[in-house]
Chain A
Amino acid sequence: MCSSCMGISSSQRSKKSVDMEICRREDKLEISELDPFLAELLRQIPASTNPEGAPAAEKRLFSPPADRSKTEQCSEWKLYVEPELRRLFRTATETVAADLEQLNGNEKPFANRKLRIPTQHADAWLNALNQARLVIAAKYNFSDGELCDHYRSPIGSRRDLGLFQLNFYGFLQEFILREIDGCSEKTSD
């Protein structure tokens, strides 16, 4: 059973190319026809959530709960709330990393892959993808104009790759959100 389906391609269309497909199959979200490049971008999600070495990214993930002049409030937050947030983000990333193990099978190096995400992991995926997108955006300091450029091509630099990665993760988030929304509407019927 497939409630919805959408496709994406990392390369220019040709007669032989097969677009990635993303579908809902019962209690799993299935991403099929993942070419090695897109599979590698997915493998990069856990590493991309790491803000180490980028103070702007760390600052964005752990933003203050109030104006910085409210020092008492901010220091209490750092002491009591921030560790909880770090735990929450780490758990989400670990769930995603475990799901991504499916991509490390013994298939031929250039064969397309398939990834199945249990729907109960959807929240962890949304969280980890959001962490990754925020960290990438902070590391490259993308402008608003660049963030709205969803069709930049070809990828000619690390910066272009970062933008493609950010958009690809956003595309996955949109799909997961749509599926969650579909589920909650069905439940409320």
Chain B
Amino acid sequence: MIEKETRSQDDVDLPWQVVVHNDPVNLMTYVTMVFQRVFGYPREKAERHMLEVHRKGRSILWSGMRERAELYVQQLHGYLLLATLEKVS
């Protein structure tokens, strides 16, 4: 019963995504470093996301529980990146 309740709570919380938007001022190397630091991504993955932001205007960096996504968005704003929290429609 408890397990069921937990699962349904997760269903409510999932799926939120952390989106980073393009900004012509932030340096590419800086954005890559921020992705490595905030999400712990290896350099190659961080660079892939950075290039996606640069070329497509946005990239979904992470998806999952709302609370953690909010924390990530807050950290990204601390580094002055344009980041938003979106619910997967």
Residues in chain A within 8 A of chain B (CB atoms): 61, 63-67, 73, 81, 84-85, 88, 126-127, 130-131, 133-134, 137, 144, 147, 166, 170, 173-174, 177-178, 180-181
Contacts and interface: CB of A to CB of B under 8 A. Distances in A.
11 contacts: A64-B84, A66-B84, A84-B74, A85-B78, A127-B79, A130-B26, A131-B80, A133-B25, A166-B25, A170-B27, A177-B29
A164 B48 CA distance: 30
B30 interface: yes
B73 interface: yes
Interface of B: 23-27, 29-30, 33, 70, 73-74, 77-80, 82-86
Contacts of B86: 66-67
A166 B24 CA distance: 12
A182 to B, nearest CB: 12
B80 A177 contact: no
Contacts of B80: 61, 127, 130-131, 134
A127 to B, nearest CB: 7
